[in-house]
Each structure stands twice: as C-alpha cells, then as structure tokens.
Structure 1
C-alpha cells in the first residue's frame, strides 16, 4: 500500500535534481538588475500648506516628518525666539505683580474696602472657586492656554481673583508686617532668579524630586483643614518656604532654557507666566506665615 507514495516521492526528488543541474546559473561578475523604487517627494518643494494638510501617516511614510521635527527643534532652540519668549513672560509677570500689589495696598490701607471685604466673605469664596476653575482650564486645556486672546483673558481672571484672595488675607494682618513680607519676597525672588540663571546645576533634570515636593505640599494643604496648629507652626512654614524657593528656581530654568534637560515651548508663554506668578505668591504667603509666628 505504501509503494506508490514512495515511488512518487522518489520521482519528485529526481526531477528536482535534474532541474538544479541544468538550470541557468548566474556568472560570478553578473549582478541582478536593480529594482527601481518610486522617487521620494522633495523636501524643499513641501510648502507649509502641504505640510498642514498632509496627515501624519503620509508624513511618516514619505519621511518628511523628520524634516518638520528638525525645523521645529531648530526654531525652538533659536536664541532670538527664546529671548523674545523670556521678555514676553517677564512682561506679563510684571503686570500681574504690579496689579496684585495695588489690590493688596487697597485692601490693607483703604479702610472702607477692608471693612467691606471682611464683612462679605461670600465674595472671597466665590473668587476662590473661580480662581480654581480658571487654573484648571489653563493647566489642563491646551486650546485655552494657547489660543489668543482667550489665554490672556483667563490669565487676567486668575490674576484678579488671586489678588482678591491675597488682599483679603492681608487685610486681617498688620500693614507693616505685610510691607515687610513684600520686601523680603522681592529680594528673595530677585536673588533666586539670578541664581537660577547663573548656576550650572540643572534643576530641570530633577523632575521626580519636584513631583515628590508637590505631593508633600498637597498633603500639608489637606492637613491644614484638620490640624491647622501643626501646618501653621514655624518649622512647617519654613519648610514650605524652602520648597517654594526650589519651585521658583525650577520654573525659572524651564523658562530660560538653554543647555537644560527640559524647557518650555515658546508658545506656552501664558503657562510660564502663570507658574512664576503662582511661585511668587506662594512664597509671599509662606513668608507672611513665618513673620506672624516670629513677630
């Protein structure tokens, strides 16, 4: 029963051997004909409109996405663009700080305003809610913080509500104490900014450490609702002030850029101004808390 299968397999092997013996063999110096590939699209001929209308899959297949990324990186590393970005951020920050100082001065030195705010704390809670909502919108929604003039409008609302909160807090304190805290904060901010620019140590490479510090401040903020005596103590206030200094240096190096591990996109000028403003206001609050315990 198995003989036909064996004979069939034997004949197949003989036919294969004969074909290999008489099949034409290529010569030693003979090369196989090259396979013509389609000519890739010229990168120089790719206009901005073509790039904007071309889907990402087509860019990846044609190889033009590398050119676009290189141009983007070179533009971000351009010193003129980076300096313009830094000037824009510090200009916005200066306006924010001047407005906040004006509001605080009105709440501290103008008695009718001070009495009105202290007797209508509902406005303060409303400002707190609006401040938190706008902060989440700017940080989490990219279209909000990058679309002009929506980003500036949201930043102005955040600055106004934050100024009201700081002014209300300052209205319950002595005016000389508030003035001393503002002076100490100004000196510290200038010194820390100069250190962040001049130092060779890259704080932007310590992203994991900064996340840990954020978690510490978050836990302390939650503990303030349950054990305010502990969080308002002098050692905790000093610790929070030191952490605020590290955050200011970290954010300053993100904005300055250069030879840093990380740097902000030049289109994120609103987010950069927001981070520096929050750092300065956080440092001011901790210094006020320290001076309340010391003086």
Structure 2
C-alpha cells in the first residue's frame, strides 16, 4: 500500500455543543430566549415550520455535496492536479487549519452561525476547505476505489435517511397529525455516541503516532470500519434531530448547524470507507 496523508483528525462532533434539552422551550410557543440553546421541544402545531426548515437544510446540503463531488472528481481524474496536490502537502495542512477554525466558529458561536450573510460565508469557506481535504485524500486512491466508495456512501446515506423518515401513528393523536416518526430513537443515546466518538478520537491519535514508524494494515482497517459505523449512527442521530420527530429536536433557527452536522457525517463516512475498501496508488 502506498503512502497517503491521514484524513483530517476527527473533531468533536457538533452534538457535543447541545445544551440540556430539558431547559429548551417549545418553538411553537414563539419563545426562544438566548442564542446558546440549540435544542427545542417538539410541537405538533409547527409542522410547516419544520418542513420549511428541513427543505432549507437539505438545499444547503445538496450544494455542499455537489461542490465536494466536483472537487473530488477533479482531483481524481485530472492527472496534473492530482500530481500537484500530492507534491504540495502544505496546502493540505493549510486547508485543515481553515477547516478547523471555521468548524469551531460555526459549532461554538451562535451569532456568526445564525446571522446572514456571515453564516453562509463561513459555511462556504468551511465547505471548500473540507472539500479540498477530501479531494486530496481521494487523489491517493485509484479511480475505481473512489467511485466504489462514493456509491457505497450514497447507498448508506439513502438507507439511513429512509430509516429516519419512517412514519407511524403517534399515540394520542389522529392520523391527520401523524408526522415522520422513526421506530428507533437515536437521540436518546447521545451519551453512548459521545463515548464512541471519544474512543475513535483517541484511537486516531494513537494510530497517528504508530503509523509513521510501522504501518499495521489490520489496525488501520479496524479503525476505518469503526469510524464508518460510528458516523453512520451519527447521521441517523442528526437526521432525527433535524426531523423533529422526537420529544426534542434541533431549533428551526439552526439550519446552518443542521447542514454542518449532516455534511460532516457524510464526508467522514466516505473518508473512512475509502480507507477501508480503497486501494491506494503505488
């Protein structure tokens, strides 16, 4: 297996910034005190607000994924560009620095995240930097591996989204009030997901220390598979938070935060699958 740069270190997932949902008001009441709250109680009276919010998030997400796909394809199929980015690793680390700074601003600062046009400007910079990182990682794998992992990622994301969009009649309400309601509530397992993410985070640090001295294929494969599974679970978690089909959900004001969450989940699923299934170029 040839050498290639490590994927971006897995940062703390944005869900770590969620406040205690027990303190969050219903967005149906029109009360939303304070910019620090991201979670909100679900209200059956605000289905239209939630639908508009979901459409807005997925519209932004589609643009992010399209930009990323174009850059990945450019870095994969264009040989001069592929050779340039592989020879100039400084751009990789510069992009990672931009990615991490914009990530922290968007995840931690509610002001820039909510107010136009700063929210879209920061998200655009974040997307371009993350797309560059993903494109450079893809350039170290053969074309068939990249296409295979893109297809697997698309199928995984579609399956998780369909699962999260499952509907059933909510007890105590008529059929006319039935909203998307997943059979399994991933939002109830924030603590478990956080612990798994910490295991992945520190495992990545240990792996980064070991790999420069000796490459261990099976250890890298286990880490990549674990990462793909964890972020698939996070994708289900974030989709349910977006849908508002549980007792607590993401506030409709946090469309940038919602798009950021799901975009990161999808990119990390692809990156880990590429490391697990991909064949690197010699």
User: TM class, shorter-chain normalised?
Assistant: 0.7 to 0.9
Is 1:277 the counterpart of 2:260? The answer is no
Q: What is the TM-score of this pair, normalised by structure 1?
A: 0.72
The verdict on how the C-alpha distance between 1:233 and 1:75 changes in structure 2, with shifts beyond 3 A counting, is closer
What is the CA RMSD across the aligned residues, in angstroms? 2.4
Is 1:225 the counterpart of 2:208? The answer is yes
Contact residue 234 and residue 293 of structure 1 kept, 8 A: no
Where 1:263 maps in the other structure, the secondary structure is: strand
Q: Which has the larger radius of gyration?
A: 1
Q: Could you list the per-position Cα deviations for residues 68-88 of structure 1 after superposition, in whole angstroms to 9, with x for gaps in the alignment?
A: 983336879500000000000
Partner of residue 242 from structure 1, selected from 223, 226, 229: 229
Contact residue 142 and residue 278 of structure 2 kept, 8 A: no
Q: Structure 1 unaligned runs (5+)?
A: 1-65
Partner of 1:159: 127
- Compute the displacement of 1:196 (Å): 1.6
5 Å matches for 1:108-119? 108-119=76-87
Where 1:86 maps in the other structure, the secondary structure is: helix
Partner of 1:202: 185
- Compute the displacement of 1:261 (Å): 3.2
5 Å matches for 1:52-67? none
- Compute the displacement of 1:227 (Å): 2.1
1: CA distance between counterparts of 2:56 and 2:78?
33
Q: Could you list the per-position Cα deviations for residues 18-61 of structure 1 after superposition, in whole angstroms to 9, with x for gaps in the alignment?
A: xxxxxxxxxxxxxxxxxxxxxxxxxxxxxxxxxxxxxxxxxxxx
Q: Structure 2 unaligned runs (5+)?
A: 1-24, 32-40, 167-181
Is 1:290 the counterpart of 2:276? The answer is yes
Q: Which has the higher contact order (CA 8 A, sep 6+)?
A: 2
- Compute the displacement of 1:234 (Å): 2.2
Q: Could you list the per-position Cα deviations for residues 4-25 of structure 1 after superposition, in whole angstroms to 9, with x for gaps in the alignment?
A: xxxxxxxxxxxxxxxxxxxxxx
Larger mean Cα displacement after TM superposition, 68-77 or 271-280 = 68-77
Total equivalences in the alignment: 229
Partner of residue 190 from structure 1, selected from 158, 162, 182: 158
Contact residue 26 and residue 43 of structure 2 kept, 8 A: no
- Compute the displacement of 1:120 (Å): 1.4
Contact residue 149 and residue 278 of structure 2 kept, 8 A: no
The verdict on how the C-alpha distance between 1:294 and 1:241 changes in structure 2, with shifts beyond 3 A counting, is farther
